[in-house]
Amino acid sequence: MKAASARVLLTGATGGIGRAAARQLALAGASLMLVGRSPARVSALARELAQSSQRSIEHFTWNVADLNDAAALGSLAQSAAAWGANVVVHNAGLPSFGALGSVSGPAMQQVLQTNLLAPMLLTQALLPHLQSLPKSQVVCVGSALGRLGLPGFSVYSASKFGLRGFAEALRRELASGPVKVQYFAPRSTRTEFNDDDVHAYNRATGTATDQPEQVAHALVQLLESEAAEAFLGFPEKLAVRLNGLVPEWLDGSFKKHRDSLPPAHAAMATRQSAPLTHLSSDRSPT
């Protein structure tokens, strides 16, 4: 689908990748329903997009929703259907980094709920509407870590492996109809999604990172190409393919990553003092 024909429901719209994606989509001619948790931020973004694209504010609406609340999800789906959304970009997400022993049970539940279950439920709620259209698309924004598990990202990878499996199975389930399902997998991106521990890990392991504008450009390309999936960056593209074919070949490659993890007790203390409440759009590193 050409961006100019797209009416995009974009979750996590005010995060690093979300904001960049909104700008790129707006410049390409798409109309957007922006979803976030802060009325001030999401409404300001709608006005910014109208001004920067030199288009009417009518092309940019917004909705405040807690994606982990069933009633809010239902209301959002109704609003998106009434607005005529023909593209859904599941972009909101939560991070999780550290040795498994450093991640609390409630934090695990919140990450899995936000990154996996919320997109599944929102897709399910919107599916009757999307199937009634001549053409529609569902884009699941995942991560290279949805196909390549790294030390320190067991919980985050679980959520993104699950999202990739959901997208793949649903793509095949809906193949004979008007709905195309896509999986988009950035690598590490330079945004506020990653904390100081992740930045230190990236430096120690030589992890490459992309600017959010690069990621947003690739997202628009995927939308317009209608390809099944896209993984960004090298050597990440090669690594995910090898991992899919012979995962045990890579098992010995991650000593540096294991050694670069923060001590479990320190990481747990940091996370207990800073509970996960931020819905964003940026991906953790590969």
Enumerate long-range contacts of 255-261, CB under 8 Å, 24 or more apart. Answer: 256/204, 256/205, 257/150, 257/151, 257/152, 257/201, 257/205, 258/151, 259/204, 260/152, 260/200, 260/201, 260/204, 260/205, 261/98, 261/99, 261/151, 261/152, 261/201
Q: State the DSSP code for 194.
A: S
| Amino acid sitting at position 154 | S
Catalytic-labelled residue, pool 156, 161, 183, 184: 156
156 is catalytic: yes
| Amino acid sitting at position 45 | L
Contact between 214 and 23 under an 8 Å Cβ cutoff? The reply is no
CA 152, 154, 155, 158 torsion: positive or negative? Answer: positive
Contact between 16 and 281 under an 8 Å Cβ cutoff? The reply is yes
Residue numbers annotated as active site: 156
